[in-house]
Amino acid sequence: MQTSKTSIGWLIATGATALVIVAAALPPVLDDPASGLLHHAFSSICHQLPERSIHVDGRAVALCHRCTGMLLGLWAGLFSAIGLRPIGSAGRSALEDVRSSRQGLWLVVFLVPTAIDWALGAGGVWANTPISRMLTGAVFGAAAGLILAANLLAPRPRPDLVPTHAV
């Protein structure tokens, strides 16, 4: 059985991600200086090019299409993981499979669509679109969220149930 600390970690990560999504979406509906402060806060993680950002009433959100997709995917991966937990103590869950896999390799694999979309666009072979940027970002974000959730929702032994050995 899981300890409550594991679930709390998942709740904090899922809630914090949702708050960051809301914060990134707020600049178009806020007046300056609050809008400018949010744009500045997100500028360290995103290029925020106006032509690559979602606009509401002519004003850009604080993230580009791809970063928005990654953040939404991260939240979706975190949130959906709760449904992958086993019910009861029988059986192995998909989250256990994620935890026992090569997580770093999976992140690289799910980053490939984003890299292809970017490279083909940069090479003039493919004109990537807001949808392609958001979807490829979301694929990577969802994989990252699922991996994070798999680790946050991992059963942890309760300290009061860990056997002590006589020396």
Identify the residue with better confidence: 154 or 44: 44
How does 79-116 read in b/e, with b if 16+ C-beta sit within 10 Å? bebeebbeeeeeeebebbebbeeebeeeeeebbebbee
Cα separation of 41 and 23, whole Å?
10
- 0.75 exceeded by pTM: yes
Identify the residue with better confidence: 136 or 87: 136
Question: Which of these ranges, 80-89, 93-102, 136-145, has the smallest mean pLDDT?
Answer: 80-89
Indicate whether 102 pLDDT > 80: yes
Q: What is the pLDDT of residues 105-152, one digit of tens each?
A: 999 999 999 999 999 999 999 899 999 999 999 999 999 999 999 888
